[in-house]
Structure 1
């Protein structure tokens, strides 16, 4: 039951961040099934935003590299390597966070999706801060 309360709270908090759609699965989270749908929606949204932030950063590198293609290629390679390592770390951290849940269970899936969404949101913010520099 403690996990359900946590999922409902996360669903409400993450649903507020989704913002783009008029109606989301996070609008009403009263049941475990609704919490799972909300967690899956938040993961998809966070991963979409993460991809957009990474793509925007790569585009900025290309834009600012006028005449310096070697430097742009080197920086792009470093960014891609860092993103790959970050993805591995995110997945490892989420494996730790979801250790208490039985893999394949609904509780595991909801916790896994919530963890990935949170980490992806954090990474998106970081990448967006690099774009601003």
Structure 2
């Protein structure tokens, strides 16, 4: 039963990712191994997208504050610190969510699914930053 719950969660978390590529490990998930592969794919994809969203944010900051090197430097340092802290909280929260699971592939799949979901949420948040005017 627990495997089925994680299968559903992994499938939901990957809806956006699956449409971006022709074939993914999340197509036709029927076994625990396929669920694990899908969750790992989801995490890897979400973390890659998170890194891209963060890099894009830094570029937007450079454009927004062009010619204001002190502001760019200060804000970039703050963003890097915030991102480091956020990743620590994300990892800790996901460890709490998977606390009751025994080590092994079901635990790994649940942890990867949690990390993917949190990373997707963070990517969306980062995409909203740096869009205000710099009056």
What range describes the TM-score normalised by the shorter chain of this pair?
over 0.9
Residue matched to 2:5: 6
What is the TM-score with the length of structure 2 in the denominator?
0.92
Rounded Cα–Cα distance in structure 1 between residues aligned with 2:34 and 2:46 = 18
What is the TM-score with the length of structure 1 in the denominator?
0.94
Work out whether 1:111 is the aligned partner of 2:110.
Answer: yes
Rounded Cα–Cα distance in structure 1 between residues aligned with 2:131 and 2:35 = 34
Q: Which runs of 5+ in 1 are unaligned?
A: none
Work out whether 1:63 is the aligned partner of 2:63.
Answer: yes
Q: Which runs of 5+ in 2 are unaligned?
A: none
Query: How far did 1:132 drift?
Result: 4.0
Residue matched to 2:127: 128
Residue matched to 2:15: 16
Query: How far did 1:99 drift?
Result: 0.3
Q: CA RMSD of the aligned region, Å?
A: 1.1
Instruction: Say which structure, 1 or 2, has more relative contact order (CA 8 Å, 6+ apart).
Output: 2
Work out whether 1:80 is the aligned partner of 2:77.
Answer: no
Rounded Cα–Cα distance in structure 1 between residues aligned with 2:23 and 2:65 = 41
Query: How far did 1:65 drift?
Result: 1.7
| The 10-residue stretch of structure 1 (40-49 or 19-28) with the greater mean CA deviation from structure 2 | 19-28
Q: Can you list the C-alpha shifts for 1:50-79, whole angstroms capped at 9, x where unaligned?
A: 001000000111112221100110000000
Rounded Cα–Cα distance in structure 2 between residues aligned with 1:7 and 1:29 = 11
Aligned residue for 2:38, secondary structure, equals: helix
- Any residues of structure 2 matched to 1:23-42 within 5 Å, and which? 23-42=23-42
